[in-house]
Chains A and B, each alone.
Chain A
């Protein structure tokens, strides 16, 4: 089945550091990739939608200068949390989608802890 690889799985770093998270579709080309954030015991919250070669569409309340998304190819999207602070600590998960009538395929997520 379709595999999405997300890396790293866990990051612990100091406040002020920028952190890059990669999301790769390993055996298919993804028209669209999604980035979600999840707080403990809560459902996934969509942060942004990215299409290859175009600017990401951010959800209301998500700072695009804080959460930089690059979708350079049909198999790779990256999320960079710039100048991370403790309140950015969360679980971030990506998904990849090939188009209509297809499921979204999720990565294993990245647990980000900012000290």
Chain B
């Protein structure tokens, strides 16, 4: 079993829909990253959080440390949101290393 698991693996939505991507992890963590990988391969860090909730524009990330679960929400989705979304954790024992989930391929159709 992977230490970081994401669901769903693939997600197709219509423009305007509310999107939720889930991430569960099995190790103690110091922080969790949500990353966005564009079709060209470049990766952007969307959020890093260790508790509670963060919001940036149409993106919201939440984390529940007790349940070892995080969610990434996209409100009013748009075709330009189409990308791979990756959950990654800094575990308490691995220091600077990130452990990555397999990613969620999101496609938003117009």
Contacts and interface: CB of A to CB of B under 8 A. Distances in A.
Which applies to chain B's interface (DSSP): helix, strand, loop or mixed? Answer: strand
Contacts of B102: 42-43
B41 A44 contact: no
Contacts of B96: 32, 34, 49, 97
Interface residues of A, number: 23
Given A43-B86, A101-B31, A106 B43 contact: yes
Contacts of B103: 43
Interface in B62-82: none
Which one of B45, B48, B101, B102 has the highest number of Cβ atoms from chain A below 10 Å of its Cβ? B45
B25 interface: no
A16 B67 CA distance: 50
Interface of A: 32, 34, 38, 42-44, 46, 49, 91, 93, 95, 97, 100-109, 111
Contacts of A106: 35, 42-45
Contacts of B41: 38, 91, 93, 108-109, 111
Contact of B100 (A43, A91, A101, A111): A43
Given A101-B31, A103-B48, A108 B42 contact: yes
Contacts of B31: 101
A103 B42 contact: no
A3 B2 CA distance: 30
B99 to A, nearest CB: 9
Interface string B78-110: 000000001000000000111011110000000
Contacts of A93: 41, 43
B28 to A, nearest CB: 15
Given A38-B41, A91-B41, 8 more contacts: A43-B86, A43-B101, A44-B86, A49-B96, A100-B30, A102-B48, A107-B42, A108-B43
A95 B44 CA distance: 10
A108 B31 CA distance: 23
